[in-house]
Structure 1
Amino acid sequence: MRILIVEDEYRLGDHVAKGLREEGFAADLASTCGRARDLVIENPYDLVLLDLMLPDGDGLALLREWRREGRSTPVLALTARDLLADKIAGLDAGADDYLTKPFAFEELLARIRALLRRRPAEPVSLLAIADLALDRTARRVHRGGREIELTPKEFALLEHFLLHPGATLTRSEIAEHVWDERYEARSNVIDVMVARLRRKLEADGAPRLLHSVPGMGYVLRASGRRARNTDSHGASGPGERSP
């Protein structure tokens, strides 16, 4: 999932971004209203953290603008203003939640997860295909009765594939939802991550679920065939085809 942080205090914004990335989220950082506008147009964000006091404008005005445009992305307002009237103004402007600075990162994370759980587009907590199951609430993955330990980024990648079973996902589509602005299109980071995920899913020779689509990207679909040994980039060994 991808989150936009609109915060002009660099140290705070950077701290929040790093924390979210460690939890498996893709996180972009904007320090002005203008930059936030551009990023929201360019990227499909799942949630926005919005500081209400920005150097080039009022965060509340920006929020009202987004709501007038029909943007329904959940917004968590961040501000040093702790008066009841300020909180009411933020909620009336269209904020889904309100958090006063300073705050503990753990509380911010809990509020983010609560907002993401509310989204009507994602009511299902358990995603599955064949003998693979991913629990979005407990953040655990099992296959054939075996628990699979994944890093936060691997979990986010698998979750995105499970949300689109049978659909061919290009590298750019995967990057939009699982990575952030730091992703370089010419790098092979997605191929490497998919190869790592495959190795974990295919331990003990389990059938392949993540398939390569030459010239396009990857698709998650059930297959009756046993997995084949692959190198670190998902390529088949000598004399073998990569499905």
Structure 2
Amino acid sequence: MKILIAEDDSRLRKNIVHIIQKEFHGVDAVDNGQDALEYILFDEYDLVILDWMMPELSGIEVCEEVRKKGYKGGILILTAKDDSSNIIQGLDAGADDYILKPFKMDELLARIRAVLRRKDKPICQIIQIDNYKLDLNSRILYRDNAEMLLTKNEFLLLEYLFINNGIVLTREQICSYVWGFDHETTNNNLDALVKLVRKKIDTNRSKSIIENIRGIGFRVRSSHV
């Protein structure tokens, strides 16, 4: 396992290197975007961690360039930008995930593990679970090939759950994905959204496709209708 960290804050970079060495062992570190680009193109990394704002090249610029060059490993963006448009920009540039500064090292390690689990499982543009098909390009859900109308937030909820099929996602993770990192939503908001989605898509199922994991969050389950 080999990871590259590109972060211009020397103290944060050293702390991340230390924690990654303890958990994953192989790690290289640079303090600017140009060096990050060269390292990625001339070596093989399972994951690269890119700070959004760096000298010479930004993390987003590095992300876009290495994806164009065919880099298939995981990319995790570190950012202090909590606006949803910035987060979408990072994901559209090819990042697999992002984490908002300041963060706890345990959260960073959890995000690293999640990205590495998905590294060899590219996200299909059409995800099928039982008799449901979620088209990520057209942003449409089909059940038995019949189109189901969803609001933006209803689709985002299902998109996040389907992409992480079988993985338990915490309430905080889901809220951040649907409403953005600066959200002020409550558990009641999320429960209400889940209830609406279940009402729309669970007709004639013995159990909901969205499973509540008590005290943690939700996941989708594949089961017979």
TM, length-normalised to structure 2:
0.52
- Residue in structure 2 matched with residue 57 of structure 1 by the alignment: 57
Contact 2:47 2:75 in 1 (8 A): yes
How far apart, in 2, do the equivalents of 1:31 and 1:25 lie? 19
How far apart, in 1, do the equivalents of 2:117 and 2:60 lie? 24
After superposition, residues 56-135 of structure 1 pair within 5 angstroms as 56-120=56-120
How far apart, in 1, do the equivalents of 2:119 and 2:28 lie? 21
| Cα displacement (A) at 1:37 | 1.8
How far apart, in 2, do the equivalents of 1:120 and 1:58 lie? 26
Moved more, 101-110 or 63-72: 63-72
Contact 2:40 2:66 in 1 (8 A): no
Moved more, 95-104 or 31-40: 31-40
Pick the structure with greater CA Rg: 1
- Residue in structure 1 matched with residue 10 of structure 2 by the alignment: 10
How far apart, in 1, do the equivalents of 2:68 and 2:97 lie? 18
How far apart, in 2, do the equivalents of 1:6 and 1:86 lie? 19
- Residue in structure 1 matched with residue 157 of structure 2 by the alignment: none
- Residue in structure 2 matched with residue 132 of structure 1 by the alignment: none
After superposition, residues 138-157 of structure 1 pair within 5 angstroms as none
TM, length-normalised to structure 1:
0.48
* SS state at 1:54 partner: coil
* SS state at 1:57 partner: coil
Q: Specify the code of the residue in structure 1 equivalent to 2:29.
A: L
| Cα displacement (A) at 1:61 | 1.4
Residues 120-142 of structure 1 deviation map (CA, whole Å, 9 limit, x = unaligned): 27xxxxxxxxxxxxxxxxxxxxx
Q: Could you list the runs of 5+ residues in structure 2 that have no partner in the other structure?
A: 122-225
Residues 78-127 of structure 1 deviation map (CA, whole Å, 9 limit, x = unaligned): 01111111101100111000101000000000111111111227xxxxxx
How far apart, in 1, do the equivalents of 2:24 and 2:62 lie? 27
How far apart, in 1, do the equivalents of 2:57 and 2:36 lie? 11
How far apart, in 2, do the equivalents of 1:61 and 1:96 lie? 15
- Residue in structure 2 matched with residue 48 of structure 1 by the alignment: 48
Identical-pair percentage: 43
Residues 39-75 of structure 1 deviation map (CA, whole Å, 9 limit, x = unaligned): 1133210000011101112221111111111111110
How far apart, in 1, do the equivalents of 2:27 and 2:92 lie? 26
Please give the root-mean-square deviation of Cα atoms over the aligned residues, in Å: 1.5
- Residue in structure 2 matched with residue 158 of structure 1 by the alignment: none
- The 1:44/1:102 distance shift into structure 2, 3 A limit, reads same
- Residue in structure 2 matched with residue 31 of structure 1 by the alignment: 31
How far apart, in 2, do the equivalents of 1:68 and 1:51 lie? 19
- Residue in structure 2 matched with residue 20 of structure 1 by the alignment: 20
Runs of 4+ in 1 over 6 A off after TM superposition: none
Q: Specify the code of the residue in structure 1 equivalent to 2:39.
A: L
Q: Specify the code of the residue in structure 1 equivalent to 2:50.
A: L
Q: Specify the code of the residue in structure 2 equivalent to 1:77.
A: I
| Cα displacement (A) at 1:5 | 0.2
Q: Could you list the runs of 5+ residues in structure 1 that have no partner in the other structure?
A: 122-243
